[in-house]
Structures are given as C-alpha cells and as structure tokens.
C-alpha cells in the first residue's frame, strides 16, 4: 500500500530555476528506494518534499494519505526521519544524551518512553560510552552515527538518508551497511540518496534516476544500470561487478550481487559451466 | 533579510555609474549625505531625493533603490509620527522623514554599485591595516555562504520537530539555540580552515602585498568628481544665502 | 586510461623526503604520526589511503609546513621538499614549493572574484602586477576556467569551485601539490573530470602529486604508488596493483574496489591470473580468454 506519493510535482525556486519537473512517484510501505543522479539533478529537492520542507509549486505530495501542504514539517517528521548530509548542521546539545532526547521531546513523548528509546539508541549505535559527552568532540564517523541514532530513537516509519557514505572509510561504511540491513528488516520505508553505486549495488533497491529535475528511470536496479546510454546521459556510473558481468561472454542469468557470488561462479566455471 | 540583500548587496551591472572609480562613487554618496543634512525645506529635500533616484536610474538600479525606499518608509513613517506628535510641526516632520529616506537611499546607491573588491581597494587606499581589510572582504564574501548554512540548519532542526512559529517570546528565543549553536560552531570551524588555507598561500609574508588591479582616475572620473563638487557648492551656497542655517 | 606506471619509466630524483617523522599534538597523549619514512620522486602521483584517524591529514600538514609553523607540537625527525627543510623554512618560501588543496573548496576561496582569488597567493609574495596578470591568465587557461574570471564564488558549481581553488594553488607554481580528498564532495562524473585534470597536469607540467582519497577506484588509473597508513604509521607502500592485490590491505580499513577484492579472492582459491586487472573490462577480457 502506497505510503509516499508524488503526483505531477514541479518545483520552481524563487530565482526562477526549475528544480523538479512533473515528478510522479509512488512508494509502498517497506520499500527501499535509491535515488541517483548528478549534483543539481533534483535529488535533494525531491527529498525535501517528503517531509514538507519544500512544498510543490505544482502537483501534490502525499504522506500516508495526507497532503504535505496541509500540515507542517514538524508533524510530518514524526513519520518521516531525514538524515542530512552534514552532522555539524544539527548537533548543538551539551550532551549526547540531550541530543538524542531533543526530537522525542519535541514530539511530546513521555519521559519514560524518552528514556527507553534513548537507552536503546545509544546501545544500538555503540555510543553508550559518550552518553554524557558533548556531541561536538566526537569524530566524524561517530557524529554521523549520532545523527542516525537521534532519528531512529523516535522510530519514524520512513527514513531518508542523504548521502550517508560520503567521506566514510571502509569500516564505517560496513557499519552503515549493517544498520541499513536492520532498518530494512524492521520493515521501514527507506529513501537512499547516494552517488556510491558500489554501496547501492548489493542492496538491490528500487532505483530512481534523476536528471535535469525529471525522473528518467524508475525500476529494478539491475535492469536500469545495464543501460549504458541512459546512465551516460544522467552522468551516473556503473558498479564494477556489473561492468564485469556485461563483459563476460559466458555468464549466469543474473548479475553478481557481491564479490563472493562472483568468486563462486567464476571459480566454479572452471569445472562446470553455467552454475548460475 | 530581503531589504538588506536588496538594498545593500552589490550586483554586477553595466552602467556609466558603475564604471566610475570607486572613490568617485564614494564621493557622490557623501555629497548626497551632506546635502541631505544641509537642506532645510521640504522642496529642497524632495529635490535631493529626486536627484538620488536620477543617479540610481543612471546606475540602472532604480528598482533596487526603489525597494530600499519602500522598505525604509516604515521607519520613515515612524520618524514622521514621532516628530509630528511631539509638536515640531508638519513641515519639519516631513523634512526629517524624507531626509532619512534620502540618506538611506544614497548609502544604498554606493553599496549596490561598488563591488567588495572595490571596497577593498578603497580601504587599502585609506591606509586601513591589511588584516582589517582582509577580514572585512572575507566577511562580505562569506555572507551568502553563512546564510545558506543558516537555512540548512533550520531545515535540519525543523526535521526534528522544532517549530519556530509557535510559542510565546521566551519559547521562541529558546528555539533559536539549536540554530545559533551549530551556526557558530560551523563558523568557527570555517575560520580554522580559512586560516590554514591562508597560511598555505603565504598570507602575511609581506606587510605590503601587491595587487592585480589598481585604481586609476580617468577623465570621466575627474569630470564627474569636479562637476558634482561644483554642484554641491552651488546648492550649499544657495541654501546658505537664502535661509539662515538653523543649528 | 591505462595505468601511467606502465607507460612512463619511473621517477626522477627525489623531491620530497620524510625521515623518521613522529609528531604529537600538544593536547594529545599519543603521536598522530609515528616514525614515518617516505620518499616521493619528481613526477610521481602518490595515492595515500587509510582509515579515518590514521594520521593522513597530519602527515599532509607536515609536508606543506603547517606543521610545525602553524601547529607546533612534539616534532621529531625531518621533512624536506626540494632540498628545503620544512621545519626551518618560512611558509612564504614553502608555499612556492608545496601546495595544499584542502577538502572543501568553499573555504579556500577568499576573494569576491575568481581571478582575484587566484592572484591572492601571488599578492602575498609581492609578485609585480604585470607578472601577476600573466600568471593568473596562464593558470586560468590551464584549468579551463578563463570564462569564470569575474564570477563570484557563490555563483560557481562544485566542480568549478574545485578548479578555482586548485588554480589558486597552482598559480604559485609549486613542484609538489597535495590534495586532501579532492573528490569527496563531487558526483562521480565531475570527480572523473578532476582526476583527468590531475593526470594532465602531471603529464604536461611534471607536477608531483600526493592525493588522499577514500574513493580509490577513481585514482588508481593515474597513480604510480599507493601508500597505506594506519594508526599513525606507514604500513604499505608500492604500485597500486601490488598493494591492492595483497590481502592484508583489507584489514586496514581501506575501501578496496570490488574488482581487486574479487582478484584477491580468486587468487586465494588458486585461480591463476596473469596480473591484477585495472578495470572490470580487463578482467572480463582475461576471463573470456580462458
């Protein structure tokens, strides 16, 4: 059942620049949607419409049946948690504890519930030892985890991640991948804006490609990413494993999702062909 | 916010006025300022305001200056009301409020037609210390960046349930804390990065850095300066001659 | 773009030399850089990788002189660039030998117009106006940004800001340029454009580069060497294919591109491949041939 819906949405800035042009999108509960495209294609603008930070100049956005024009960002945020790219644009409290409590208090949670969720969030994100520390002294990776902790503490149905892997090293990315898989397993609806096609590929999300403010592709990632011409036009790169798959003369029916799958098939190839 | 950005931020436009040496532009602004103070009747000050609008038109910035005047008329109206209610007479009340508009708009003309680079040149020319000049120019350069930061911070905090519109005065002030702290922290981090970049490009190696552009007075600069000074003198003498100057 | 290491014969003489460098910030109990030894030859492109907090940023600042001139601390060992000892040479001289481009181009453009910002470093070095004009024009031409000369920084796109900031550094004609995560804020296509710019500068002008990056797959085609750091120490150093084909590299928190991970996995299983592939297409070719 449709949770988030964009109906013919266009958005024009005050400066006259058109950031979104006739975008229509329907996302069901529990879906994972990845949004890709070059900088300026409209990804961030699109995502800001989901929690009402921006209201369409034409068309409408519906969150769980409610038109975003008829409510406030604060109300929508109860259901839609957006993790912005820069943690330094959010963190301000004297302690990590208070930082996590901030949103929950804004939403009117009971103190008991706030404590419970706080304990869970700190434990899950491995931030318990920083409970009383100032958020400003954490490292870059820890700050990113803290912003996610703040959001998941209030348990929104929809989670929007804006470029979560930028500037992260391999270990941090792995941790992020684990958190992501957990989100999926708890049935959350997830929007993932990312340049990092290697991070996206194993997840196999529904893929939405944006270019020049329009949606130029929407569907299975394996199908869309195989279309070199489309990707070139939208200035999106292909994942390496897919490029490898495309270049092989003999190959399984579906592309390799990760290195282990590729190794198993290629390694097995020597003994018996067509193991996929 | 709009008033500030409309009326006092430089916009690159090609016009005869923009082409003038920044010192001449400053001179013209100062002259308007002086003549505004010296005017003693409503017709005179109205003429001054009209002259400012004429110069704005020459600078192809009439719409911007018009906007500045429009936004300032609220305060001008306040000046009028105060003076009138305190019994200084209708004519004087009009005089003072229009004088305010003339001063604001002539200052606005200067800033709208003078780029930060030209401001820098003027400051250097008046022997302001190099560090202060640099701090000023850099501050102006980063105004749009800091404004963007502020909007992004507000978006991030709104997305955590923060509501600006609601609440009494106390609550609203408290709601500024989640905006101000990240803004200040980001500015401090930014200053640190700027300092590193400055050092890495040899800032401070010499007390007298050279520059890519210099100011040069051309014939139309000298002509404009001379003409405006003569006009100013003529007007001032006229005013002095006809009416005694009320101190 | 085949790997440059194969096309060009190896380096000229040593340009930068780091000798048993250990540095500890004053308010920190542990050194950020521990006994690092590194030599960079003229014309090389060295890729520097490692997990967050491994000391990369500190090392960069030790090379361009910010450490110890701007950030004093417990400094042992020595760093020299172009024959000059970094700790004993003033920043004004160092700036003409080593350029450092930081991660965020926004915070490196001070002036209200691109060309004046490019001139910034030259002004500080008291370069006379005529020469300044020539150098600024040349630099803009080199980076393809002549059309942006009068633009204000807030009117530029991310990729353009990156070029403008790089121009400001290049105008000072350093022999060595260090780039700190130059592509992290860019989309992949713009990032590729920046990488080919680096390659062009390296090939045409012989500028030596040290690039810190997480997104290795972008830089591998143009890098001569990959140096890995962990916990303040240098732990691996060699041609990129060799380092990435060494299974230890995954343990150091380096984002190994999938093709190399696959190569390592296959090699471990005993599959014999001629050499580590540069691109997925190369690997496919080789697999097809068997």
Q: Where are the domains of chain A?
A: 1-79+157-237, 91-155, 239-276
Range of the domain at C271: 257-290
Distance from CA of A66 to the nearest CA of C (A): 34
Least Cα separation, residue A98 to chain B (angstroms): 12
C77 phi-psi bin (left φ>0, alpha ψ -120 to 50, beta other) = left
Say whether both C233 and C264 belong to one domain.
no
Mean pLDDT of chain B: 87
Question: In whole angstroms, what is the distance from residue B126 CA to residue B22 CA?
Answer: 12
**Total Cβ atoms within 10 A of residue B132:** 10
Q: Is B40 near chain C, with CB under 8 Å?
A: no
C264 with C251, same domain: the answer is no
Q: What is the mean pLDDT of chain A?
A: 91
Within this chain, do residues B157 and B94 fall inside the same structural domain, yes or no?
no
Q: Is B13 on the interface with C (CB under 8 A)?
A: no
This model of the complex carries an ipTM of 0.90
To 5 degrees, how large is the angle CA C139–CA C116–CA C206? 20
pTM equals 0.87
Of the partner residues B138, B195, B201, the one whose CB lies closest to the CB of residue C168: B201
Residue C11 is predicted with a pLDDT of 57
Write down the pLDDT at residue C100. 96
Sort out which chain C residues have CB atoms less than 8 A from B214's CB and list them.
Answer: 129
Statement to judge: residues C251 and C278 lie in one domain? no
Residues C223 and C86 in one domain: yes
Which among C280, C283, C289, C290 is the top mutation candidate for probing chain A, defined by the most A β-carbons within 10 Å of its own β-carbon? C280
Indicate if B110 and B220 belong to the same structural domain.
yes
Task: Give the pLDDT band of residue B39 (cuts 50, 70, 90).
Answer: confident
CB contact under 8 A, B155 and A92: no
Same domain, C102 and C125: yes
Inter-chain CB pairs, A–B, below 8 Å: 59
Do C215 and C287 reside in the same domain of the chain?
no
Residues on chain A touching B157 (C-beta within 8 angstroms): 90
Q: How confident is the model at residue A270 (pLDDT cuts 50, 70, 90)?
A: very low
B83-87, B180-184, B198-202, range with the lowest pLDDT: B83-87
Q: Which residue of B has its CA nearest to A135?
A: B182
Select from B120, B136, B197 the residue whose CB has the most chain C CBs within 10 Å, as the one to mutate to test that interface: B197
- State the number of CA atoms in the 13 A half-sphere of C116 facing the CB: 22
Count of domains for chain B: 2
Same domain, B85 and B170: no
| One domain for residues C182 and C85 | yes
- Quote the domain boundaries for residue B147: 129-200
* Residues on chain A touching C157 (C-beta within 8 angstroms): 39-40
Q: Are residues B18 and B80 in the same domain?
A: yes
Distance from CA of B156 to the nearest CA of C (A): 19
Write down the CATH superfamily of domain A1-79+157-237: P-loop containing nucleotide triphosphate hydrolases (3.40.50.300)
SS3 state of residue C55? coil
Q: Which residues in chain C are contacts of B134 at CB distance < 8 A?
A: 110
Per-residue pLDDT of chain C (290 residues; tens, 9 = 90+): 344 444 444 456 899 999 999 999 999 999 999 999 999 999 999 999 999 889 999 999 999 999 999 999 999 999 999 999 999 999 999 999 999 999 999 999 999 899 999 999 999 999 999 999 999 999 999 999 999 999 999 889 989 999 999 999 999 999 999 999 998 888 888 899 999 999 999 999 999 999 999 889 889 989 999 999 999 999 999 999 889 988 888 888 898 999 989 988 888 887 777 777 888 998 898 888 87
Give me the phi and psi of C45, to 5 degrees please.
-115, 110
Residues C212 and C282 in one domain: no
Residue A274 is predicted with a pLDDT of 43
pLDDT digit string, tens, across residues A74-87? 999 999 999 999 99
pLDDT for position C200: 94
Is B221 in the same domain as B108? yes
In this predicted model, what pLDDT tens digit does every residue of A25-72 receive, in sequence order?
999 999 999 999 988 899 999 999 999 999 999 999 999 999 999 999
Whether residue A236 lies within 8 A of chain C, CB to CB, comes out as yes
Which residues in chain C have Cβ-Cβ distances shorter than 8 Å to B130? none
Task: Indicate whether B88 pLDDT > 90.
Answer: no
Task: Tell me which residue of A185, A183, A148, A149 sits closest to A165, measured CA to CA.
Answer: A148
Q: Does B197 touch chain A (CB under 8 A)?
A: no
Q: Are B65 and B146 within one domain?
A: no
> Is B92 in the C-facing interface, judged by CB distances under 8 Å?
no
Q: Which of A195, A240, A258 sits opposite C257 (nearest CB)?
A: A240
């Amino acid at each position: 059942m449709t949770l988030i819906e964009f109906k013919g949405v266009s958005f024009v800035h005050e400066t006259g620049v058109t950031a979104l042009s006739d975008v229509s999108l329907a996302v069901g509960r529990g879906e994972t949607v990845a949004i890709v495209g070059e900088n300026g294609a409209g990804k961030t603008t699109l995502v800001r419409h989901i929690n009402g930070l921006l209201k369409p100049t034409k068309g409408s956005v519906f969150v769980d049946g409610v038109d975003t024009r008829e409510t406030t960002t604060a109300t929508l945020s109860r259901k839609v948690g957006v993790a912005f790219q820069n943690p330094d644009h959010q963190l301000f409290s004297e302690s990590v504890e208070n930082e996590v409590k901030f949103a929950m208090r804004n939403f009117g949670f009971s103190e008991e519930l706030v404590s419970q969720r706080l304990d869970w969030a700190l434990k899950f994100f491995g931030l318990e030892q920083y409970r009383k520390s100032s958020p400003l002294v954490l490292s870059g990776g820890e700050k990113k985890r803290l912003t996610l902790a703040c959001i998941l503490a209030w348990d929104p149905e929809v989670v929007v991640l804006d470029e979560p892997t930028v500037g992260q090293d391999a270990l941090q990315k792995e941790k992020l991948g684990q958190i992501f898989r957990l989100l999926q397993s708890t049935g959350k609806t997830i929007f993932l804006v990312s340049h990092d096609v290697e991070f996206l590929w194993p997840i196999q999300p529904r893929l939405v490609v944006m270019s020049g403010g329009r949606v130029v592709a929407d569907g299975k990632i394996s199908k869309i990413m195989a279309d070199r011409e489309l990707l070139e036009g939208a200035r999106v790169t292909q994942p390496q494993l897919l490029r490898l798959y495309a270049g092989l003369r003999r190959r399984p029916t579906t592309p390799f999702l990760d290195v282990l799958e590729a190794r198993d098939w290629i390694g097995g190839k020597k003994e018996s062909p067509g193991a996929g | 916010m709009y008033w500030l950005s409309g009326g006092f931020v430089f916009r690159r436009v090609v016009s005869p006025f923009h082409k003038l040496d920044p010192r001449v532009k400053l001179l013209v602004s100062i002259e308007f300022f002086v003549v505004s103070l010296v005017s003693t009747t409503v017709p005179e000050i109205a003429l001054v305001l009209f002259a400012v609008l004429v110069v704005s038109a020459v600078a192809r910035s009439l719409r911007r200056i018009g906007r500045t005047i429009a936004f300032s008329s609220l305060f001008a109206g306040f000046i009028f009301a105060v003076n009138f209610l305190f019994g200084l007479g209708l004519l004087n009340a009009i005089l003072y409020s229009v004088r305010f508009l003339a001063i604001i708009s002539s200052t606005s003309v200067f800033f709208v037609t003078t780029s930060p680079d030209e401001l820098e040149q003027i400051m250097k020319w008046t022997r302001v210390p190099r560090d202060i000049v640099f701090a000023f120019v850099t501050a102006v350069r980063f105004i749009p960046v800091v404004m963007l930061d502020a909007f992004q911070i507000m978006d991030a905090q709104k997305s955590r349930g923060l509501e600006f519109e609601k609440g009494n005065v106390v609550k609203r002030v408290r709601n500024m804390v989640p905006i101000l702290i990240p803004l200040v922290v980001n500015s401090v981090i930014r200053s640190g990065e700027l300092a590193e970049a400055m050092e890495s490009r040899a800032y401070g190696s010499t007390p007298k850095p050279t520059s890519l552009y210099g100011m040069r007075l051309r014939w139309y600069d000298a002509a404009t300066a001379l003409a405006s000074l003569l006009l100013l003198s003529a007007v001032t003498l006229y005013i002095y001659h006809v009416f005694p100057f009320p101190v | 773009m085949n790997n440059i290491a194969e096309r060009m014969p190896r380096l000229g003489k040593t340009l930068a030399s780091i000798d048993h460098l250990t540095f500890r910030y004053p308010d920190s109990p542990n050194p950020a850089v521990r006994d690092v030894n590194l030599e960079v030859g003229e014309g090389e492109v060295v890729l520097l990788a490692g997990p967050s907090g491994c000391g990369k940023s500190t090392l960069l600042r030790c090379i361009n002189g910010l450490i110890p001139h701007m950030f004093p601390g417990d400094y042992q060992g020595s760093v020299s660039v172009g024959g000059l000892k970094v700790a004993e040479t003033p920043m004004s001289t160092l700036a003409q030998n080593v350029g450092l481009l930081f991660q965020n181009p926004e915070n490196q453009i001070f002036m209200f117009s691109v060309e004046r910002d490019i001139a910034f470093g030259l002004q500080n070095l008291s370069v006379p106006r005529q020469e300044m004009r020539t150098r600024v024009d040349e630099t803009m031409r080199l980076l393809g940004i002549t059309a942006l000369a009068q633009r204000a920084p807030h009117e530029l796109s991310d990729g353009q800001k990156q070029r403008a900031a790089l121009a400001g550094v290049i105008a000072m004609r350093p022999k060595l340029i260090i780039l700190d995560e130059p592509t992290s804020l860019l989309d992949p296509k713009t990032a590729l454009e920046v990488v080919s710019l680096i390659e062009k500068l390296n090939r045409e002008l012989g500028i030596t580069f040290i690039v810190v990056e997480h997104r290795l797959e972008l830089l591998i085609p143009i890098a001569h060497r990959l140096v890995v750091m962990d916990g303040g120490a240098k732990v691996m150093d060699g041609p990129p294919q060799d380092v990435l084909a060494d299974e230890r590299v995954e343990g150091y928190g380096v984002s190994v591109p999938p093709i190399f991970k696959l190569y390592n996995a296959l090699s471990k299983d005993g599959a014999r491949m001629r050499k580590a592939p540069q691109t997925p297409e190369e690997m496919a070719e080789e697999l097809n041939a068997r």
